Chains A and B, each alone.
Chain A
């Protein structure tokens, strides 16, 4: 085992390979406050990539309800249970990563799901944390709560799937950090299925090898965001590239939101994999729960989010979500407009920071009719 630096945990961790950070890292930010679990992203991914035989049960993108939803069943509670209670205190994580907790003779702590764990992808949907007592009123955070968690492969910097394959059938691309599973080299050992704590590698019974989210790399190579991002009707996602954590570029919307404003947090950073999907935490959920899922920055992230409308640059970065199918490598505020730029710094989108509003008068003078006509 070698040592690599995990910026999310503020320390070095054990990892079986030496890793050079990619030139730019494929990353995605989700605003959980906007997700309505319409599953358009799920359908977009499935229609594009997982229509084949053996892929029927696969949801490379899925949206589950927290606290009682999971796909596959119990993926997070199972591995958290195996890892044991760890202190989620920053800025340096002193608990165990999954590599630290690897049993003797294993590379990483993991488990293989049962086949039937995949049978109910929508289990727990819309189940709140508990029953609202009679006469209760809404508090903030909500005393009974639920929120939606959309997930894809995190294209981790220190990917568990990659580290566990005895044949090195999984690799991480230098140019964009997308993690891919070589379909000709894989022999279906399922070490990766066992190792990935997010359970985002799937075994195909028809091809007898494993498959995973490919980061829509054909689109990304062409400067276009992923299918799940561009199809999102709620505009809750932005996909782009992160730079190096020690030298963030404040003009890159992803760097700005993740490294500078810290409004978007990684998913279960304690596993140690440095996942590259980041979540703006749901403001109505008790921070005590969120701390386990997103780390110790949740309270500060929620506060930043609730004040985002006061910060033009932050608002501009947020307004770019769903504004264009193209990847914004740079952005800036131009008066009351957010502008996105591609890799060559050509302008690709302009979005007003405030949606233009029009008030329509009750009586339409020109047509001599009340606009509330209901007959």
Chain B
């Protein structure tokens, strides 16, 4: 049995109780319809200009231990588009430096988008859902982005003067060497960026987040001139029971979280947003002949 200590401050009780409502007037995010087929991943694509940018303020995380009372990133700019098959979000925020090199005292930049799985009911807790109230959390990691763009950093890359005489995978077959590969050998999803720098996950409350066996979320993050521009996209409908089924004419909610690696933000130590209304306008009616 687990005895959890909850420290709820007044500001977040409001978010918890009212669910979809936000404490002060927050403009909704309207998903613009764009043409095209297939996943949308490029932050510099021209289609983003069709979407109206919305500013999303971020809050300190002071509900679940350990807290982050002063996250560095205070605000995101969000644009959303869909092409009938895929929905994509472009999230931008200021960051003076890239953090994508993971060492014991180096953490990576990350950004996540949260969608409630059930779109008809009142959304679940904005704090990563609650038991019975599942959320889909798609988390982009700068370290995984680096893996895909440049290949994962080896020990020689991180420690140019390091030397090891022999590794098991140099003398054993792949199967026999696998026990020496630790988490990589059992395909821990954070060990390598494989196809996508975005982890497609679900959660039912903080502490329960789990990577899905089938990954549908894609994306790409590019840092330039002190700004991260990160796209996260997913299919609007799929047979994934832990993802929302989205369609034009729908209103739901969306939440965001950001981790500034340089500030040692990771896990629970993050800036996060409560639910923001997400509007997918109905398709324009077909003109009668």
- Chain A residues within CB distance 8 Å of chain B: 1-2, 16-18, 51-56, 104-107, 112-115, 118, 164, 166-168, 183-184, 186-191, 193, 202-209, 211
Contact = CB atoms under 8 A, between A and B. Distances in A.
Interface of B: 1-5, 62, 64-69, 102-107, 143, 152-155, 158, 162, 164, 167-169, 180-184, 186, 188, 190-191, 206-207, 209, 264, 266-268
B172 to A, nearest CB: 10
A125 B169 CA distance: 33
A207 B154 CA distance: 10
Contacts, number: 127
A203 to B, nearest CB: 4
A115 to B, nearest CB: 5
A190 B5 contact: no
A184 B188 contact: yes
Contacts of B206: 166
A112 B264 contact: yes
A112 B106 CA distance: 10
Q: Interface SS of chain A: helix, strand, loop or mixed?
A: loop
Nearest to A55: B182
A320 to B, nearest CB: 32
A204 to B, nearest CB: 6
Interface centre among A55, A113, A187 (most CB of B within 10 A): A187
26 contacts: A1-B3, A18-B2, A54-B155, A54-B182, A56-B162, A105-B66, A105-B67, A106-B67, A112-B264, A113-B104, A114-B104, A115-B103, A115-B104, A166-B206, A167-B207, A167-B209, A183-B188, A186-B183, A186-B188, A188-B102, A189-B266, A190-B104, A191-B66, A205-B158, A208-B143, A209-B188
Contacts of B184: 206-207
Given A52-B181, A112-B105, A191-B267, 14 more contacts: A51-B180, A53-B169, A104-B67, A105-B62, A106-B65, A166-B64, A168-B207, A188-B102, A188-B190, A204-B182, A204-B183, A206-B191, A209-B183, A209-B191
Contacts of B64: 166
A56 B268 CA distance: 29
Query: Which 4 pairs, one residue from A and one from B, show the smallest C-beta to C-beta distance?
Result: A105-B67, A189-B267, A52-B180, A207-B183
A51 B167 contact: yes
B203 to A, nearest CB: 10
Nearest to B266: A189
B103 A211 contact: no
Contact of A52 (B3, B167, B207): B167
Contacts of B105: 112-115
A241 to B, nearest CB: 25
Contacts of A56: 155, 162, 164
Contacts of A105: 62, 65-69
Given A113-B104, A166-B66, A166-B267, A52 B182 contact: yes
A143 to B, nearest CB: 38
A203 B2 contact: no
Contacts of A104: 67
